[in-house]
Structure 1
Amino acid sequence: MKSLELQEIGKPLVLTARPIPEETPGWAVVRLRAAALNHRDYWITQGQYAQIRLPAVLGSDGAGEWQGQPVVIYPALDWGDDPAMPGRAFRVLGMPEEGTFAEYIRIPRTHLFPKPAHLTWEEAAALPLAGLTAFRVLFSRCQLRAGERVLITGIGGGVALMACQLALAAGATVFVTSSSEEKIQRAVQMGAAGGVSYRASDWAKQLRELAGGFDVIIDSAGGEAFALLPALCHTGARIGIYGGGQGKIQGLSPQVIFWRQISILGSSMGSPQEFEHMLDFVQRHQIVPVVDSIFPLADGNAALQRLASGQQFGKIVLAIDASAPN
């Protein structure tokens, strides 16, 4: 089988031939039709990840066929027994275990779920990690309810866009931030009520005037800007954070947090049960993940460059067999 292999940190992925894995009791071998990129994949290529083992086949997101059935793959292993939090053995798919940047993958049978019928292979591959992360932070952690006002920071990435789509489907009013006016306008076209550029010095003031405050805030950046978020919250609001690309949080006022009864909730990946619930929600509401661009498997390095540029709006997908029917 063909696979994209990381052989050396900082070097391009190499298209290689590997043996097709064999099925064993409890494990399936899926013929992949599409895979999607995540920032995790790029960070690993740059050595910005713990305990990297080479050579590695990256990729956490995938959709394909098993025994003639279209399936999507739960993008992690060994969540554990506690639905509230992952166990010590939990890890995301794609290094050290072989990931989805290949024609075949060996995966636990319990981690295969029916592909939503309304999605293409590429759309289905774009769903798992981003959809699950967004679903968990919105519903499991922040307990989003219909009619609430939601702020999603950094619109344009896969998780932020899925959070926007899920929140809108749940009956929330959504506002966004971005460094790009074009991305804000595209979010508005999707149904967001409005947004502001976080590059503006008074972005928090603009948001307050635009929205009047929020019940739920979903953030992936952290950093200095995070300290301004509690002041945008209604009493009893929840702030969910699933990333920290802007670094440590400084200047956070504890008084605003406790007087307004604000909850700050960390979140990351979700359990297989949450994955199943997310897929049901997507099927019920006919949600279609936003796909930025599609590259053939052999052009995986160009796809990584697109991801590194930060210009994407939605998920970047590898078509592993573009001739396959959806």
Structure 2
Amino acid sequence: MPYALTVKKIEGKPGSVYYPLQIKQVPRPTPGPNEVLVKITAAALNHRDLFIRRHLYPGISFENPLLSDAYGVVVEAGPGASTALLHKPVILTPTRGWESDPNGPEDPARFTVVGGSRLHPAGAAQQFIAVPESELELAPDHLTPAEGAALPLVGLTAWRALVTKSAAAFPGANLLITGIGGGVALQALQFAVALGCRVFVTSGDSAKIDRARALGAIAGVSYRSPSWDKDLRALLPADRPFLDAVIDGAGGDVVTRAVRLLRPGGVISQYGMTVAPKMDWLMQAVLNNIELRGSTMGSRAEFKAMVDFVRQHKIRPVVSRRVQGLTNLDAIDGLFKDMSEGKQFGKLVIEIDSPDSASKL
């Protein structure tokens, strides 16, 4: 029987508990009407998976498989489903319940990210999954399975934060992307470079700034510096000595810093707040007509547009580290440790065994 990876419930308070991983055997799914069966080849971690293990995420399931990101091959078509994708590599959509409204989910109560959620049974950390064929995109030919698995949720989040929300996805725009090294930040960097933007980055690690420059960033500064905003201002080009937008997933004092750098009417596109769940909004930002725009994941239409852009521009998502085998719990725990300690530069990927592979339980 195939395997699925879940978390095991133990006693503990949110934030202090750390749910252990567990493997369980599950029946091989049978695709229903308009569904296809996908054999998952690779799956990837996101920060939400770490938050789930710490009980810092809503609606946790201890039965449904973890992980939102998957790359696989269609191996069977159910009744009414097209056979066009049969034996083709595909990328699965990481969310459900948001079709195309650029403002947000059509019915927020129906929107969810898949993986370890009570709101939807789907999850990437399993060897086979039956899904509606409408929840698949043909994988770009240039991607490896690990790169394909690295793309879905961070790609969707970065695409919406940059293209839909920032008003600065155009050649020559000056962008600041904070916290480079995380999956969303790196994907936003790759998209922005392909669009012709001039990208600046922050990180607490100079080596990560150097690697970002190798990917096309103009320059970067350390957010550990008490004057990083002044340091960045000195790096801005003379012909455009301001930022058009900031793509931020940290929060904290980003408004205080960014208001000194953004042009009047500039945008802070906020896709996360890892420093704290709230931050200050300054009168100076009001006087400068700065806009703060929240950005969460994205729609099915945005997902398709993002995958098409990756295909067109031959973008390769950055994979930080990969491990072999869904049942290799020690190695998978090592990926979570990398994420917890902020060691990764790019995505953390599990390359999944076939169902008859030897277990490493």
**Alignment partner, residue 15 of structure 2:** none
> C-alpha separation between the residues in 2 aligned to 1:142 and 1:148?
11
Say whether 1:37 aligns with 2:45: yes
**Alignment partner, residue 141 of structure 2:** 117
Q: 1:167 to 1:257 in 2, by over 3 A?
A: same
Question: SS at 2:199's partner residue?
Answer: strand
> C-alpha separation between the residues in 1 aligned to 2:152 and 2:280?
35
- TM-score between both structures, scaled by the size of structure 2: 0.85
- TM-score between both structures, scaled by the size of structure 1: 0.94
Larger Rg: 2
Q: C-alpha displacement at 1:61, in angstroms? A: 0.3
Gaps of 5+ in 2: 11-17, 75-85, 355-361
Q: For the Cα contact (< 8 Å) 1:227–1:250, is it kept in 2?
A: no
Moved more, 288-297 or 94-103: 94-103
**Alignment partner, residue 54 of structure 1:** 62
Q: 1:248 to 1:76 in 2, by over 3 A?
A: closer
Say whether 1:315 aligns with 2:344: no
Letter in 2 for 1:247: A
Letter in 2 for 1:98: A
Deviations 1:82-106 (A, max 9, x none): 3431122000011222311110122
**Alignment partner, residue 313 of structure 2:** 285
Match of 2:232 among 207, 217, 220: 207
**Alignment partner, residue 261 of structure 2:** 232
Say whether 1:91 aligns with 2:119: no
**Alignment partner, residue 148 of structure 1:** 173
Moved more, 131-140 or 22-31: 22-31
> 1:145-184 to 2 correspondence within 5 Å?
145-184=170-209
Moved more, 234-243 or 223-232: 223-232
> 1:62-81 to 2 correspondence within 5 Å?
62-66=70-74, 67-80=86-99
Match of 1:294 among 298, 311, 322: 322
Q: C-alpha displacement at 1:259, in angstroms? A: 3.2
Q: For the Cα contact (< 8 Å) 1:131–1:159, is it kept in 2?
A: yes
> C-alpha separation between the residues in 2 aligned to 1:286 and 1:221?
29
- Structure 1 segments, 4+ long, off by >4 Å, are 248-251
Q: For the Cα contact (< 8 Å) 1:31–1:65, is it kept in 2?
A: yes
Q: C-alpha displacement at 1:225, in angstroms? A: 3.6
Q: For the Cα contact (< 8 Å) 2:100–2:301, is it kept in 1?
A: no
Q: C-alpha displacement at 1:43, in angstroms? A: 0.7
Q: For the Cα contact (< 8 Å) 1:291–1:317, is it kept in 2?
A: yes
Question: SS at 1:306's partner residue?
Answer: helix
Question: SS at 1:31's partner residue?
Answer: strand
Letter in 1 for 2:122: E
Say whether 1:273 aligns with 2:301: yes
> 1:125-140 to 2 correspondence within 5 Å?
125-140=149-164
> C-alpha separation between the residues in 2 aligned to 1:216 and 1:20?
47
**Alignment partner, residue 7 of structure 1:** 8
Say whether 1:17 aligns with 2:25: yes
Question: SS at 1:231's partner residue?
Answer: coil
Letter in 1 for 2:9: E
> C-alpha separation between the residues in 1 aligned to 2:249 and 2:129?
30
Moved more, 27-36 or 176-185: 27-36
Q: C-alpha displacement at 1:213, in angstroms? A: 2.0
Letter in 2 for 1:126: A
> C-alpha separation between the residues in 2 aligned to 1:3 and 1:164?
33
Q: C-alpha displacement at 1:250, in angstroms? A: 4.3
Q: C-alpha displacement at 1:248, in angstroms? A: 4.5
Q: 1:81 to 1:180 in 2, by over 3 A?
A: closer
Q: Work out the number of aligned pairs and report it.
A: 322
Counting aligned pairs with the same residue, the percent is 40
The structure carrying a bigger helix percent of its residues is 1
Question: SS at 1:228's partner residue?
Answer: helix
Letter in 2 for 1:240: S
> C-alpha separation between the residues in 2 aligned to 1:129 and 1:224?
26
Q: C-alpha displacement at 1:153, in angstroms? A: 0.3
Gaps of 5+ in 1: none
